[in-house]
């Protein structure tokens, strides 16, 4: 089925006879594969008598050779056509003993995950599903504020490549205005006080234009810029930006980028509600501390919050 997709990816018409010849199958078998393409991958195929078959939109698939050919790119890359999630595969690769750093990408996730167990919508060949595995030595200092470091790298990449006015929302979201365009999910394996592995999971809405599966305001690079983007270039650009910020973080700690992160925090000074399980804490965002924790003024008193299960929401009076 994916071989057929590669024949169709240019977005031009191809006759059933030509497709059958290219695949070594009958025209009726081509028809069946096309039905599977539409049903399983959610792709739209135009069928015109006398002209053949055409994808509704051309596809530019991920290409490991193209990615690693970019200047300065150093990480081994795995690309999967369809997988449960890139983070899950990265964790399995760690268990198999694969040496870090390495990068896991996918055209589609069938069980993509966001923070707090939320589903991450992952249509085929539209968006970026990216998991970078790092080996961390030197204890907790190397992990402090790491998700914020990744978020800053993602945001800067989107601004550089797409010219969009993106910003940050503590702790793990990248927004354009009030609409989410990217999210980060970090997962850790091992002893954080000694030697461990961390999976830096990034999901970016790249060329997605419509979906009824997202339960919050969202946008994509394509919707913001009015054009489609080459995801291979995006992978290379994001990886270079991550290398820069990760090196800075490793050498100087999170404090080295604290001020830059705060500058791009869209909710700085805003009235918010911090959700922690069944509890809600109302306050005003003061910023973040030198470890990346949230500084919140609650009833006139500054309080510090950190942790993976916290969610921040704007209050109606903000």
User: Which domain-ending residue is among 11, 28, 55?
Assistant: 55
Query: Is 6 noted as a catalytic residue in this protein?
Result: no
Could you tell me the strand order of the sheet in which 271-276 lies? Answer: 301-305, 294-298, 279-288, 271-276, 310-314
Let me know if 115 is a catalytic residue: yes
Termini Cα distance of the chain: 51
Residues 201 and 116 grouped into a single domain: yes
- Token pair in block for residue 138: 């030197």
Q: Which residue among 92, 116, 209, 313 is the active-site one?
A: 313
Q: What is the CATH number of the domain that holds 278?
A: 2.30.30.100
Specify whether 123 is located in the same domain as 193: yes
- pTM here is 0.90
Name the H helices within the chain. 2-8, 16-23, 27-41, 64-68, 86-95, 146-162, 221-225, 231-252, 258-263
| Domain at 40, CATH number | 1.10.10.10
What is the CATH classification number for the domain harbouring 256? 3.30.930.10
Same domain, 121 and 252: yes
List 108, 169, 180, 237, catalytic entry = 180
Residues 281 and 176 in one domain: no
- Counting every residue written for the chain, the total comes to 318
Are residues 93 and 190 located together in one domain of the fold?
Answer: yes
**Nearest alpha-carbon partner for 45 in 10, 19, 76, 8:** 8
Are 107 and 176 contained in the same domain? yes
Regarding whether 239 and 117 lie in a shared domain, the answer is: yes
3 annotated among ligand-binding-site residues: no
Q: Give the range of the structural domain holding residue 71, as residue numbers without chain letter.
A: 64-262
279 carries a ligand binding annotation: no
In tens, the pLDDT along 120-141 reads 567 888 999 999 999 998 767 7
69 and 147 share one domain? yes
Examine the domain organization and report whether 240 and 283 are in the same domain: no
The response to whether 306 counts as a known ligand-binding position is no
Q: What are the tens digits of pLDDT across the range 265-292?
A: 999 999 999 998 888 999 999 999 999 9
Any idea what DSSP says for residue 99? P
- 105 has which bridge partners? 79, 130
Same domain for 129 and 7: no
252 marked as part of a ligand binding site: no
113 has binding-site annotation: yes
Residue tagged active-site, from 115, 231, 237, 241: 115
Q: Is 109 known to sit in a ligand binding site? A: yes
Domain check: are 257 and 291 in the same one?
Answer: no
Q: Domain ends where: 262, 285, 301?
A: 262
- What pLDDT was estimated at residue 5? 83
pLDDT in tens, the chain (318 residues): 678 888 888 888 898 888 888 888 888 888 888 888 788 887 888 888 888 888 888 888 999 999 999 877 889 999 999 899 999 999 999 999 999 999 999 999 988 665 555 655 678 889 999 999 999 987 677 788 999 999 999 999 999 998 789 999 999 999 999 899 999 999 999 887 788 999 999 999 999 887 665 557 899 999 999 999 999 999 999 999 999 999 999 999 999 999 999 999 999 999 999 998 888 999 999 999 999 999 999 999 999 998 767 888 998 754
Give me the number of domains the chain comprises: 3
Structural domain ending residue among the three candidates 262, 279, 295: 262
The answer to whether the annotation marks 86 as part of a ligand binding site is yes
CA 116 to chain centre: 16
Q: Are residues 113 and 35 in the same domain?
A: no
Q: Would you call 313 a catalytic residue per the annotation?
A: yes
């Amino acid at each position: 089925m994916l071989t057929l997709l590669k024949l169709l990816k240019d977005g031009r018409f191809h006759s059933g006879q030509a497709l059958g010849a290219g695949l070594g199958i009958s025209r009726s078998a081509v028809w069946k594969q096309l039905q599977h393409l539409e049903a399983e991958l959610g792709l739209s195929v135009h069928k015109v008598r006398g002209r053949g078959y055409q994808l509704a939109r051309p596809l530019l698939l991920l290409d490991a050779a193209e990615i690693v050919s970019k200047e300065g790119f150093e990480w081994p890359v795995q690309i999967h056509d369809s997988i449960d999630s890139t983070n899950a595969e990265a964790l399995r690769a760690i268990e198999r003993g694969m040496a870090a750093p390495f990068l896991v990408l996918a055209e589609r996730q069938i069980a993509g995950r966001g923070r707090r167990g939320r589903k991450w919508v992952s249509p085929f060949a539209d968006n970026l599903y990216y998991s970078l595995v790092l080996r961390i030595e030197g204890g907790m200092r190397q992990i402090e504020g790491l998700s914020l470091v990744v978020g800053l790298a993602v945001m800067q990449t989107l601004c550089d490549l797409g010219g969009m006015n993106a910003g940050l929302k503590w702790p793990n979201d990248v927004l354009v205005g009030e609409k989410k365009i990217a999210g980060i999910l970090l997962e850790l394996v091992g002893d954080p006080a000694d030697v461990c592995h961390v999976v830096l999971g990034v999901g970016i809405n790249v060329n997605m234009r419509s979906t009824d599966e997202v339960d919050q305001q969202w946008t994509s690079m394509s919707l913001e810029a009015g054009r489609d983007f080459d995801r291979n270039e995006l992978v290379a650009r994001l990886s270079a930006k991550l290398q820069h910020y990760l090196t800075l973080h490793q050498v100087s700690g999170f404090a080295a980028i604290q001020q830059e992160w705060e500058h791009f925090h869209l909710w700085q000074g805003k009235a918010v509600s911090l959700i922690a399980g069944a509890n809600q804490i109302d306050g005003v965002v003061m910023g973040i501390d030198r470890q990346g924790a949230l500084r919140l003024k609650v009833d006139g008193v500054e309080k510090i919050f950190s942790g993976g299960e916290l969610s921040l929401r704007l209050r109606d009076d903000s």
